[in-house]
Structure 1
Amino acid sequence: MRADRLLSLLLLLQTRGRMTAQDLADELEVSVRTVYRDVESLGAAGVPVYADRGPTGGYQLLDGYRTRLTGLTSDEAGTLFLAGMPGPAAELGLGSVMAAAQLKLRASLPGELADRADRVRERFHLDAPGWFRGDEPTPHLATVADAVWNGRQVELRYRRWKAPREVTRTLHPLGVVLKAGRWYLVAATATRTTAYRVSNILDAELLDEPAERPGDFELAGFWRDWTERYERSVYTATATVRMTAAALERMGYVFPPEMSRVARAEAGEPDETGWLVTRVPIESVRHGHIELLKLGAEAEVLDPPELRECFVATARGLASTYLPPTSPAEA
């Protein structure tokens, strides 16, 4: 464990430059005293690490010092190749770059680790998009990625869901995200930072003006918060539904995650017949009607009344379609 920690400390200094003992301790999840001992051990082993004193000081490596890629475990070596996504890389125009990087990394590994990496690549494949979803056309993805990478503003003509449908925006690009096979541009205007679906970009022009990037912006954290806010904002209403315990279990497979999550959290205990009452978030009456039809006769809408009426009308329509006409004698 200590050898792994020493290597991690060395790689942190090599990739990030000067770091304080407290920063290193936080990253390595050890005490500051342990960092002091580890730095002394690196120095004794011939690693040129030195300390600058004072409030802006810290540890850093001698300029120009680089360690070779050593100390990889077999699992770590395999994971590096498992993380490669040739499809998205090609969409960004980086397919050949990734292939070249993997070839160089493969050539640098010792025989046993190289064999392990080859086995992982042969046996595991990452397919990011969900089922029954074709590729979205993203002709302007390269322009967007160029703007993000080079820190330049971009002017977009964008199609959105509300009026006016087409808008033009001058944006400060901050990052690109691949979510379930869909590309999104995270960008800022003078008033807000949000995400734009790249397939909805009708035209994109790279501008000469530099983009402004907030010093405290962190892409992964923003995306996590933004997706949570987006999911909450979509479901503006709630349906009270009586359903079987089996239907509640099935919701996790056929419903959007937020709908099934809330339904599980709000579910009461099943009665002696196996039915229970829960709340299900919906976007609208029409959306709730379409989604809850997936549960068939194992669900009964109790509220709101207009949604229940939709199911009454659907049941009558299905009955007239599938049931034989009732004879006067039977009536």
Structure 2
Amino acid sequence: MSARRLLSLLLLLQNGGRLTAGDLARRLEVSERTVLRDLDRLGSAGVPVYAVRGCRGGFELLDTFDHEVPALPAGIVAPAGRLRRVRVRLSPSALQLALVQGRPEAWRPRPGAEPHPDRPSWVEGSFRFPSYEVAAQELLALGADVEVLLPVELRGTMAELGRHIADLHA
């Protein structure tokens, strides 16, 4: 399985509307069977891919699928400057989504990390980010399935973002 191919498949479906397995196979330069396996993997990762049967059938994404990451709300300031790695704890589904999307980048599991008693299935590791603002935006896209452990400043920013979102939906 190629993460690059899965991301390319996802982008084709986002931009191309309804495409047949043959069309996707030609564009990705793989077999139709490989495309079908990759579509199944995307579906397992939570991407809403569905098939339409018939002479005008094919595969497409639900039109509700939108993973644009919004900018930070006004009044919330992330620390400026370069950021290298952010240590996080996240659910298996959030990790799957991040790996399929390729965002955040450069997942590195933390060897020997003890599971959290309240979340034994969650994994600990780190992602690489170019800045605090990008880190906050991309981690926010993973929703409540991610916990920032380090750096402490980013953890505080994420807590502030969470409070802001809770206030908006109260």
TM (norm. structure 2) is 0.46
Structure number having the greater strand percentage: 1
Q: Which structure has the greater CA radius of gyration? A: 1
TM (norm. structure 1) is 0.25
Higher relative contact order (CA 8 A, sep 6+): 2
Structure number having the greater helix percentage: 1
